[in-house]
């Protein structure tokens, strides 16, 4: 058995108790006072000097180059937990995305790597981030310099995967990853359409914002059909339109809200550009105006093929099974790191429906199979140790 897996298994009780504390004290976004105090305390107990950065925490082990960054997110969702677990959160926030497990796995990896510090041929930098769910936490740490001092050469992160989310094996000890395109970008937008209000019996005196908005929505559907190759997955969805107050007044404003997703930065840029052009020009056609705002966004999460293949190889020494999967549909703010350094993002399987884990990420009843946690911790260690040794 891989030596890091042996050590992680010996720490199983600690990993689980850390995970359960973070779970029970779930917090949201950038407001993680209890979580950060706990993680910081644990890091100090194992010999680190964690530093606050961009709403999260960072520390390093080893010296010199190369530098590998390991990232874990610590935030929960604003949701009432219904898992039925004895350690369920009663804070009004719920770790239904498994970030409690990510933090516990990385704390264990930090402890194991500290014990092996003399053997490390380079530096491991830990990035414990806030606010993944709002897609703002990783950028905040990048803006405050997580990639410098020391300069980071490559980065990796794991996400727990559980419940019915694909045709692959979700038993603890399995890891899944995509060779290149892993997850799409996600951008949220708002289009504000302005017209001129009047009585519906004299509609010719006004400009209907709701009618212009309806034409914009139809035209945007055409964009996906007509301007992207059929083998390239791009998505654009309208989730909300608000306009008008009653049946016989032509409304002077309509608000359209939606989001778009793409697996490449080129397609993401094109979607953003054409969304604006189509909305403003269609509005003009109907004598209205449209203003497009991008409210929040994250880049596509792309695995660097050679780096991902190498890291997946190190994971194979620890895991029972490593499976290559097609790109998945969700988004991740780890993607902001892909623009700067080669990255590897993979899923640690943590609960199969056959074993009773029937709810997947973001469900208030979601539970995870904690047997997965030592595997994830050991795989982080094995990747770090071997990558530093071979570069
Ligand atoms: Zn999530
Ligand atoms: Zn997540």
Q: Are 124 and 62 in contact (CB under 8 A)?
A: yes
Q: Are 139 and 65 in contact (CB under 8 A)?
A: no
How far from the centroid of its chain's Cα atoms is residue 221's Cα? 26
Which ranges constitute the DSSP H helices of the chain?
Answer: 3-10, 12-24, 33-45, 99-115, 137-143, 209-227, 265-285, 305-316, 335-338, 372-390
- 251 alpha carbon to ligand 2 midpoint, in Å? 40
Handedness of CA 19, 20, 21, 27 (dihedral sign): positive
- 97 alpha carbon to ligand 1 midpoint, in Å? 4
- 314 alpha carbon to ligand 2 midpoint, in Å? 23
Residue whose pair of structure tokens reads 């892993």 in the numeric block: 182
Q: Are 330 and 183 in contact (CB under 8 A)?
A: yes
- The Cα 101–Cα 377 span in angstroms is 10
- The Cα 184–Cα 165 span in angstroms is 16
Q: pLDDT (tens digit, 9 = 90+) per residue, 218-236?
A: 999 999 889 999 888 899 9
Among 3.30.360.10, 3.40.50.10800, 3.40.718.10, 3.40.630.10, what is the CATH number of 3-183+300-390? 3.40.630.10
Mean pLDDT for the stretch of residues 27-50: 98
- 99 alpha carbon to ligand 1 midpoint, in Å? 8
Nearest CA-CA partner of 251 in 236, 241, 261 = 241
167 pLDDT band, cuts 50/70/90, is low
- 40 alpha carbon to ligand 1 midpoint, in Å? 23
- The Cα 241–Cα 243 span in angstroms is 7
- 139 alpha carbon to ligand 2 midpoint, in Å? 15
Query: CATH 1.20.1250.10: does it fit domain 186-298?
Result: no
Q: pLDDT (tens digit, 9 = 90+) per residue, 54-85?
A: 999 999 999 999 999 999 999 999 999 999 99
DSSP, res 287: T
- The Cα 87–Cα 33 span in angstroms is 19
Indicate if the pLDDT at residue 99 is higher than 90.
yes
- Better-scored residue on pLDDT, 224 or 50: 50
Domain boundaries, the chain: 3-183+300-390, 186-298
Q: Which of 16-20, 189-193, 325-329 has the lowest mean pLDDT?
A: 325-329
166 pLDDT band, cuts 50/70/90, is low
- 64 alpha carbon to ligand 2 midpoint, in Å? 31
Q: What ligand has the least distance to the C-alpha of 99?
A: 2
């Amino acid at each position: 058995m891989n030596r890091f897996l042996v050590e992680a298994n010996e720490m199983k009780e600690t990993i689980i108790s850390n995970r359960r504390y973070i779970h029970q004290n779930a917090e949201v976004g950038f407001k993680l006072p209890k979580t950060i105090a706990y993680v910081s305390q644990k890091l100090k107990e194992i010999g680190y000097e964690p530093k606050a950065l961009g709403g999260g925490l960072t520390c390093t082990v080893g010296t010199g180059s190369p530098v590998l960054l390991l990232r874990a997110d610590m935030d929960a969702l604003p949701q009432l937990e219904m898992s039925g677990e004895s350690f369920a959160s009663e804070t009004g926030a719920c770790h239904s995305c498994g970030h409690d497990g990510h933090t516990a796995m990385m704390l264990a990896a930090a402890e194991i790597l500290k014990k092996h510090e003399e053997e490390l041929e380079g530096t491991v930098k830990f990035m414990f981030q806030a606010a993944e769910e709002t897609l703002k936490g990783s950028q905040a740490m990048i803006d405050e310099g997580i990639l410098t001092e020391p300069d980071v050469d490559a980065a990796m992160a794991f996400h727990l995967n559980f419940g019915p989310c694909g045709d692959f094996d979700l038993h603890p000890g399995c890891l899944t990853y995509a060779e290149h395109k892993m997850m799409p970008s996600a951008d949220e937008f708002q289009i504000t359409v302005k017209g001129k209000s009047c009585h519906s019996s004299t509609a010719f005196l006004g400009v209907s914002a709701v009618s212009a908005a309806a034409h914009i929505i139809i035209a945007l559907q055409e964009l996906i059909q007509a301007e992207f190759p059929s083998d390239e997955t791009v998505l654009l969805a309208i989730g909300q339109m608000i306009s008008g107050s009653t049946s016989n007044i032509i409304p002077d404003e309509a608000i359209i809200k939606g989001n778009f997703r793409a697996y490449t930065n080129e397609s993401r840029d094109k979607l953003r550009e054409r969304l604006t052009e189509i909305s403003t020009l269609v509005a003009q056609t109907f004598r209205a105006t449209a203003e497009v705002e991008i409210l929040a966004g994250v880049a596509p999460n792309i695995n660097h093929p050679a780096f991902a293949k190498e890291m997946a190889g190190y994971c194979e020494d620890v895991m029972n099974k490593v499976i290559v999967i097609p790109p998945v549909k969700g988004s991740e703010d780890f993607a902001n790191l892909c623009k700067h350094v080669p990255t590897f993002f993979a899923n640690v399987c943590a609960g199969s429906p056959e074993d009773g884990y029937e709810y997947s990420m973001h469900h208030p009843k979601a539970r995870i199979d904690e047997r997965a946690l030592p595997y994830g911790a050991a795989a982080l260690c094995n990747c770090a140790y071997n990558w530093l040794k071979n570069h």
